[in-house]
Amino acid sequence: MPTQINICQTSAGVDEFIRRCACVLNTTIFAIVQDVMEMLLSEGHIPSVHQLYPSSGKLSSPYSRLASVNLIAHSINASAIILENIDRRMPLDQLSVLACVSHDIGKIPRLLKMVDGAYSRVKHARASANALQDLIGGRIPPRQSELIIDAVRHHHEYRNFGPIWENLVKADQLAREKEEFLLMSTRRQ
Ligand SMILES: [Fe+2]
């Protein structure tokens, strides 16, 4: 089995992320991020990519290698891309952090099971959006809620769903590139 990547695996990494969010996010968004993190910390110790053949041990493709990054780490890594350049006065930036931390929670088996059909990227995105909708409840204005849930629901589709979707798709991709780079560097050592 590959070595687990330690970007954010330690409680110190998670604590640092929570501390940073507490500094830059408004109280409501921060409370929802905390709820997402609670879910991730109890059920997110799973590979961040779906493994069709988990026991095959074939880790040659970049996609397969990313299975060694767990869901908690990838969720934080994507959020960190937004946090690096966040303008705390911009509601869209704040909502983008929430979109990033929650975009793949639908990979949690309990949540994935709630959506019918075989596994697909669209299926986990739908499961993430449904779970996020429940977590948000009525805590943020409906228009903001709609924008962020749409961004999460469609984060693997190639039609532009607005600025939060753009931020999320870019952050997800950059986080994957960083994870892949780190995995390759670790293998070379
Ligand atoms: Fe995804």
Tell me the per-residue pLDDT of 115-127, one tens digit each, with 9 for 90 and over. 999 888 999 999 9
As a whole number of angstroms, the distance between CA 184 and CA 189 comes to 9
Render 29-68 in DSSP notation, one character per residue. Answer: HHHHHHHHHHHHHHH--SBSS--SSTTS----SHHHHGGG
Q: Which residue has the higher pLDDT, 140 or 64?
A: 140
What pTM did the predictor assign?
0.89
In this predicted structure, the answer to whether residue 182 has a pLDDT above a threshold of 90 is: no
Ligand 1 centroid from CA 126, angstroms: 10
What pLDDT, on a 0 to 100 scale, did the predictor assign at position 141?
Answer: 96
Distance of CA 143 to the CA centre of its chain: 22
**Ion ligand 1 residue ranges (Cβ < 5 Å):** 104
Digit-coded pLDDT (tens) for 31-73: 999 999 999 999 999 999 876 655 555 556 767 778 888 999 9
- Please state, as a whole number, how many other Cβ atoms lie within 10 Å of the Cβ of residue 62: 14
Ligand 1 centroid from CA 125, angstroms: 6
Ligand 1 centroid from CA 97, angstroms: 15
What pLDDT, on a 0 to 100 scale, did the predictor assign at position 143?
Answer: 95
